[in-house]
Amino acid sequence: MQAKINRESCRTSSSRQYVPSSDMSGTNLSIHSITHKAFAETQMSLLSDSSTEAETLSVSSGSQARCSYSASSDASAGSESSVLVHIVSGDALQAGTDVNQRYDSHSLLKKVPYGASNSSDECQSVDEVEKLRKELKETLVMYDKACDDLVHAKKKIQVLSNECSEEARKVENALRKEKILKQLAADEKAKHLEAINEVEQAKRSFTREAYSKHKAEMVGCIISLDKEKIVDAILSTSKNCRRYSKHEIELATDNFSEARKIGEGGYGNVYRCTLDHIEVAVKIIQQDSTDKTDEFLKEVEILSQLHHPNLVLLIGFCPEIGCLVYEYLENGSLEDQLLNNKKHQPLHWFLRFRIIFQVSCGLAFLHGRKPEPIVHRDLKPANILLDKNYVGKIGDAGFAKVISDLIPDWQTEYTDTIVAGTMYYMDPEYQQTGTVRPKSDLFGLGVIILQMLTGKHPNGLIVSVENAIKSRSLPYILDRTQTDWPVAEAEMLAKLGLRCTALKCRDRPDLESEVLPELEEILHRVSSIVNMRNLNSRAPSHFICPIAQGLMDDPYVAADGHTYEHHAIKDWLRKHRVSPITRCKLPNLSIIPNHSLHAAIQQWKKSQTAQTQTWK
């Protein structure tokens, strides 16, 4: 008999169906219960099938009945029910197969003919079946336990895997933090080393600064002693130069009040005040210009030794605050008169000619100083001051330089020195080479001459005057605040100014032998013009030439009956045939001298000259 274990088993205790299920990692167990009758019918069917298949086996019907009865009795006596087990799981498939193999083996035993068997064999087979069932149950129990253990192990493995992943993340984070901390430590170490280097450098710098400070203090002490010696020497050599105290200066300037401030010099403010009952101009070195003390002492040393009508007189000084006390000049600087003349009357052209001559005389005095000449180096309108009578005086000699080794004009020599001066007035050759000569001041003098004639800014002025002279249009660029310029003398002065502004020193005229004589001649001519105009203003009207509008020196009578200056009427008759006064046609062109009028004019001139000498 083949015992077929598919999905059902018999149970004898009850007719109801019980299906327990256990979830053991994918394993499902189903148990169905049937009645004793059904189980017997199943057995009979199995035995009937077996007897049919056995062709050579002869079994009596009694034996079949016994066998059937014995099997039925043994089945009912051996167990209350039959169990059919179906295992639906990949994990329990092998166990189910083993059970089926065992039942199949029993079935094969059943197929053997029962003719030779007896009741003891049958009972032994039933015991074996029971034994197999017990083994099956034990196997199922063990399988259930193994499944439970497997599920537990899987859960434990999952937990351990999660813990391992967490630990791995912690280790990774720890490694990353360690790397960051190492980098921070390296940075901090670098900063520490850098800080140590900075401290070392600071220590070295502090040591150098301390040494430099000590050295500077020593040098300062030496310089201070030298300055005291210079001051004592100045006071001993110049009796007219007085030393003022700081308190005296502060008291005179009302503690440097803005109300007393009248201007600014090259390196200090200028205040107007009264010292020793004399009106003076006090120039103070600015607080941020203490490094220019050398210039201050240089100016004191130079000016204390110079006395000339066309140089600003130095009255005294104060070494404590770097103060220079000059004579006060009422009409300010030439720059104020020319370019900033809103508060002043326009400077008369005759005064301009005279101021140029006076400045040239003062400059010639500096250049002719013995044994060593002095070069001003910063001659400009701002450094030319005017007193109450408009007498020009050179001031601000702070940039002046004593020339010990005079370089010839024809020689060009480059010198490593600091160039001093003001743009547009500075000698181009001195600016390029650093070599200073007395003729270096002539360039500034030439620019000043051109400014006095035109009243214009120095930028581009030289070219403008050159073009005007070439095109014979000089009268059109003369200062228009003056309407009665002597054009001929103005042109002479303009040409002299252009010669002084030559780019090379060797092309400029000599101040003493050329410039001064020519200026003196021009001044004499313009003085004659002024005197003549003054005489004309007081002369009788019939002494004045109708054509030249001036006092006649050689009067002649023309055909119209009127008297004219001889050269004026001759020039007129060359071009015209009519009378200068009546505009009528002249009967003839003959002229005759007027001796009686000439004698009267000469007598009047003598009387005017005698009267002028009496006033003087």
Distance CA 197, CA 200 (A): 5
- What pLDDT, on the 0 to 100 scale, is given for residue 321? 83
For residue range 138-154, what is the model confidence (pLDDT) as tens digits?
999 999 999 999 999 99
- What pLDDT, on the 0 to 100 scale, is given for residue 293? 64
Distance CA 176, CA 161 (A): 22
Identity of the highest mean pLDDT range in 194-208, 305-319, 347-361: 347-361
Give the pLDDT band (50/70/90) at residue 172: very high
Residue 593 β-bridge partners: 556
Distance CA 397, CA 202 (A): 44
Q: Supply 29's token pair.
A: 């167990």
Amino acid at position 535, single letter = L
Residue 394: its H or E element: strand 392-394
Give the pLDDT mean for 244-272: 86
- What pLDDT, on the 0 to 100 scale, is given for residue 341? 63
Give the pLDDT band (50/70/90) at residue 422: confident
- What pLDDT, on the 0 to 100 scale, is given for residue 236? 54
Of 46-50, 71-75, 307-311, 450-454, minimum mean pLDDT range = 71-75
Amino acid at position 427, single letter = D
For residue range 468-501, what is the model confidence (pLDDT) as tens digits?
999 999 999 999 888 889 999 999 999 999 999 9
Q: How far is CA 571 from CA 343, 370, 457, 565, 574, in A?
A: 45, 54, 40, 10, 5
Better pLDDT: 168 or 83: 168
Domain extent listing, the chain: 28-154, 241-301+313-328, 331-534, 541-615
Give the pLDDT mean for 178-197: 92
Average pLDDT, the chain: 76
**What's the fold here for domain 541-615?**
Herpes Virus-1 (3.30.40)
Give the pLDDT band (50/70/90) at residue 283: confident
Helix axes 595-615, 516-538, angle to 10 degrees: 110
Q: Supply 182's token pair.
A: 């190492």
Question: Does pLDDT of 67 surpass 50?
Answer: no
- What pLDDT, on the 0 to 100 scale, is given for residue 251? 92
Q: Supply 401's token pair.
A: 């330089």
Give the pLDDT mean for 243-267: 85
Q: Which residues of 562-573 are buried (b: 16+ CB within 10 A; e: fewer)?
A: bbbbbebbeebb
Residues 6+ apart with CB under 8 A from 447: 380, 424, 425, 458, 461, 462, 497, 501
Question: Does pLDDT of 69 surpass 90?
Answer: no
Identify the active-site residue in 378, 396, 427, 441. 378
Q: Which residue from 472, 480, 451, 465 is spatially nearest to 336, judged by alpha carbons?
A: 451
Question: Does pLDDT of 187 surpass 50?
Answer: yes
Share of the chain above pLDDT 70, in %: 69
- What pLDDT, on the 0 to 100 scale, is given for residue 217? 81
Question: Does pLDDT of 70 surpass 50?
Answer: no
Distance CA 393, CA 329 (A): 9
Query: Is-catalytic flag, 378?
Result: yes
504 Cα distance to chain centroid: 40
- What pLDDT, on the 0 to 100 scale, is given for residue 276? 87
Residue 278 has phi, psi (to 5 degrees) of -120, 135
Give the pLDDT band (50/70/90) at residue 175: very high
* 3-state secondary structure (DSSP) of residue 612: helix
Distance CA 85, CA 33 (A): 11
* CATH homologous superfamily of 331-534: Transferase(Phosphotransferase) domain 1 (1.10.510.10)
Q: Which residues are annotated as a binding site for ATP?
A: 283
8-state DSSP, 493: H
Give the pLDDT mean for 317-330: 87
Question: Does pLDDT of 268 surpass 90?
Answer: no
Question: Does pLDDT of 254 surpass 70?
Answer: yes
Question: Does pLDDT of 88 surpass 50?
Answer: no
Rg (CA), the chain: 69
Give the pLDDT mean for 219-232: 66
Give the pLDDT mean for 18-39: 43
Q: Which residues of 481-514 are buried (b: 16+ CB within 10 A; e: fewer)?
A: ebeebbeebbbbbbbbbbbbbbeebeebbebeee
Residues 6+ apart with CB under 8 A from 84: 5, 6, 7, 8, 9, 10, 31, 32
Q: Is 304 left (phi over 0), alpha (psi -120 to 50) or beta?
A: alpha
241-301+313-328 has CATH 3.20.20.70 classification: no
Of 60-64, 113-117, 331-335, 602-606, minimum mean pLDDT range = 60-64
Distance CA 140, CA 27 (A): 11
For residue range 510-521, what is the model confidence (pLDDT) as tens digits?
999 999 999 999
Torsion of CA 465, 467, 472, 475, to 10 degrees: -30
What secondary structure, in 3-state letters, does 214-252 show?
Answer: HHHHHHHHHHHHHHHHHHHHHHHHCCCCEECCHHHHHHH
Identity of the highest mean pLDDT range in 212-216, 373-377, 539-543: 373-377
User: What's the pTM value of the predicted model, to 2 decimals?
Assistant: 0.54
Give the pLDDT band (50/70/90) at residue 540: confident
- What pLDDT, on the 0 to 100 scale, is given for residue 157? 93
Which DSSP string corresponds to 150-177? HHHHHHHHHHHHHHHHHHHHHHHHHHHH
